[in-house]
């Protein structure tokens, strides 16, 4: 159990390292009219003992939230902004990432690994190779049970193009990745047209597809960083 004796050194160390934290704690606790500073009176000592854990929690949280400018810049560089839209029956996700196009294309050469970036992928299995193409069997999360589709994925001049071979769950499946160099960065264009055999409101399908595709692009950027 945490006691005043064990928590006080931690609080003192936090307040010494982060002098602005105590003023923040004071502001948070001021509406409760509590004196969190130690005094010699019996009543204030009791209040101090009761609310010290809260003070430590708030102070520690504030200390952890404070970052140096260098750390903030590094975090901002890791964030990837993805723009999505619906056009000509396709959902399109576009993002600029701080990686060379060749590095991205090499990573995505393994179609099964590329598909595992999608949060809806349950399983991605390579069936066979065919020159610059490969056949895949994809199992993706469905409404009540997984959807399965066999595809053919081929290398293009600047990316990959994947089309449906057969499926009982999809009427159409077409996915295009295009990677274009932009200075030291790359622009990613991820386009997909997925038409299910079951009826789903178009608005719902578009909204969910945008979420999945945005997350897939962000997962790609994270995998490239790692």
pLDDT value of position 13: 52
Q: Distance between CA 161 and CA 22 in Å, rounded?
A: 57
Walking along the chain (226 residues) 10 residues at a time, the average pLDDT comes out as 46 45 35 40 45 34 35 50 86 95 95 95 89 92 91 96 96 96 95 90 89 95 92
- Counting every residue written for the chain, the total comes to 226
Residue with tokens 């945005």: 214
What is the distance of C-alpha 91 from the center of its chain? 19
> The tokens of 6 are what?
């064990």
| Yes or no: domain 76-225 corresponds to CATH 3.40.1640.10 | no
204 CB-contact burial (10 Å; exposed 0-12 / middle 13-18 / buried 19+): exposed
What is the distance of C-alpha 8 from the center of its chain? 38
Domain boundaries, the chain: 4-65, 76-225
pLDDT value of position 190: 96
Residue with tokens 């606790």: 29
Q: Is the pTM of this model over 0.75?
A: no
pLDDT value of position 78: 56
3-state secondary structure of 193: strand
């Amino acid at each position: 159990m945490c006691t005043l004796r064990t928590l006080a050194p931690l609080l003192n160390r936090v307040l010494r390292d982060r002098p602005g934290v105590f003023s923040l704690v004071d502001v948070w606790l001021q509406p409760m009219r509590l004196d969190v500073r130690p005094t010699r009176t019996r009543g204030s000592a009791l209040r101090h003992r009761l609310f010290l854990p809260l003070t430590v929690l708030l102070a520690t949280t504030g200390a952890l939230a404070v970052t140096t400018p260098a750390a903030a810049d590094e975090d901002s560089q890791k964030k990837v902004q993805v723009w999505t839209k619906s056009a000509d029956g396709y959902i399109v996700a576009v993002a600029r990432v701080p990686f060379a196009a060749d590095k991205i294309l090499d990573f995505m050469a393994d179609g099964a690994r590329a598909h595992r970036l999608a949060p809806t992928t349950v399983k991605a299995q390579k069936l066979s190779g065919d020159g610059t193409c490969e056949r895949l069997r994809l199992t993706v999360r469905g409404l009540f049970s997984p959807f399965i589709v066999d595809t053919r994925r081929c290398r293009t001049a600047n990316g990959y193009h994947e089309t449906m071979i057969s499926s009982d769950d999809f009427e159409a499946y077409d996915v295009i990745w295009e990677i274009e160099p932009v200075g030291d960065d790359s622009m990613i264009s991820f386009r997909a047209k997925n038409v299910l055999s079951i009826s789903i409101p178009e608005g719902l399908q578009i909204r969910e597809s945008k979420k999945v595709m945005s997350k897939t692009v962000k997962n790609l950027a994270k995998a490239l960083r790692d």
